[in-house]
Amino acid sequence: MTSERLFSILNFVASLDKTLGLQTKLEAVRDALNNIAGQPAQASYQSTLAAALAAFTEAVSKLPTSITPSQAAAIREIGGEDFFEPALGEKVVTSIQTHAMTPSVARDFVQELSQRRAAFLETVRSARQSLEKLQIKESRLGAGTADVAFIIPRNIFKNQLGDFAKELNFISRLIQRYAEAKTGETKPVSLEQLSSSIPTVSLVADLMALGVLATVIQKFLTSWKTIEEIREIRSRLSKIGMKGTALKELDTQVETTITTVVEESTTLVMKDYPGSSAERRNELEGFVRHDTKQLFGQIERGLNVEFRADPTHDADEATQQLLQGIANVAKELKYPAPTDEPLLLTDGQVLNEETQDGSLTVLHTKKTTKTEKTTTTAKKDGREG
């Protein structure tokens, strides 16, 4: 995690806790339980506990819509998962209900949780102040703009500088081709920020390209849930000794799902292509299909792509809708954990490149052993990144 990203998540955690009043409401539950443990027959204390518990669980219920999957992953990385999980309210309620006859036990549970949570929040505040003193600042997005960050696991380029350069070229090429598909021309992709550790490349690019890229990734992640369910069924059947046709049918279903999402994504990107050359359209469609499949294969291996967008009322309606669409998708993207047995790309295909004459190596699922070539009729014309 970069220092800027750390500062950002620390800021978010402190702000979210203050906005929802989680710690304050949890301490109110603790105090009410403390009173009941001392005088369990006091009816007013029971009413106070009920009100405090209702306020706390209501605040916790807002967590799922307040934290994006990427923010949840960052909170988990800094050790705060237990204090901002959606099940937090349920855990407190269960403890109180389970120990209704021994309120001191529930009190001790809530008090210990409250103390640990308060200590975590104090660490968050202290770390944030220290970073501020070191002139570390959060990367802020300008009103009416959007950006994208590619978080690239090192296994994709195996810590080789040349392969890392290939990856950067692929990312630039991908966005430029998406931009051409939507606008009819390639547009510059500007480097906003480059961070090490887990290499993170933040970019500013054409809004239409970012919008369709976000939608394509969302489409793939939705389909990937189906693929994971099929793989789980296949694994269970294999463990009980099932062989032959049943397993082959599941393999076929996985391959069909992958092919379908790649084709649907390609169609979406190429929809309303404004260029006048049919030849260029066909060529670009092949490039988009190739790059999209490669993107999906890298996501399976751990690549994360995060979007930020700041809709503003000052922009025209079309731009506002585009920015809002990117912002909405950004909240929903939840990436799968990298698998030990990738399906989409073999090791040699992760950084697959085009040949000098513009031909493309078609990417297949892991079970496919035949490698084919699809050669475009036109040479690369300098419009490609």
pLDDT in tens, 77-108: 899 999 999 999 999 999 998 887 788 898 99
Contacts of 262 (CB under 8 A, 6+ apart): 289, 292, 293, 296
Summarize the confidence of residues 101-116 as an average pLDDT.
Answer: 91
**Which has more pLDDT, 279 or 100?**
279
Is the pLDDT at 212 greater than 90, yes or no?
yes
Question: How far is 59 from 25, CA to CA, in rounded Å?
Answer: 8
**Whole-number pLDDT of residue 41:** 66
**Whole-number pLDDT of residue 367:** 40
- Supply the mean pLDDT for the chain: 84
Is the pLDDT at 34 greater than 70, yes or no?
yes
Give residue for tokens 């490669």: 294
- Kindly list the distances between the CA atom of residue 74 and the CA atoms of 67, 69, 232, 345, in Å, as whole numbers in the listed order: 10, 9, 27, 27
Question: How far is 40 from 70, CA to CA, in rounded Å?
Answer: 44
**Which has more pLDDT, 349 or 64?**
64
Is the pLDDT at 273 greater than 70, yes or no?
yes
Summarize the confidence of residues 210-239 as an average pLDDT.
Answer: 88
**Which has more pLDDT, 245 or 12?**
12
Contacts of 167 (CB under 8 A, 6+ apart): 152, 156, 157, 351
DSSP state of 184: S
- pLDDT band for 12, please (50, 70, 90 cuts): very high
Contacts of 352 (CB under 8 A, 6+ apart): 294, 345, 361, 363
**Which has more pLDDT, 238 or 14?**
14
Q: What is the tens place of the pLDDT at every residue in 166-211?
A: 999 999 999 999 999 999 998 899 998 887 667 888 899 999 999 9
**Whole-number pLDDT of residue 347:** 64
Summarize the confidence of residues 132-139 as an average pLDDT.
Answer: 82
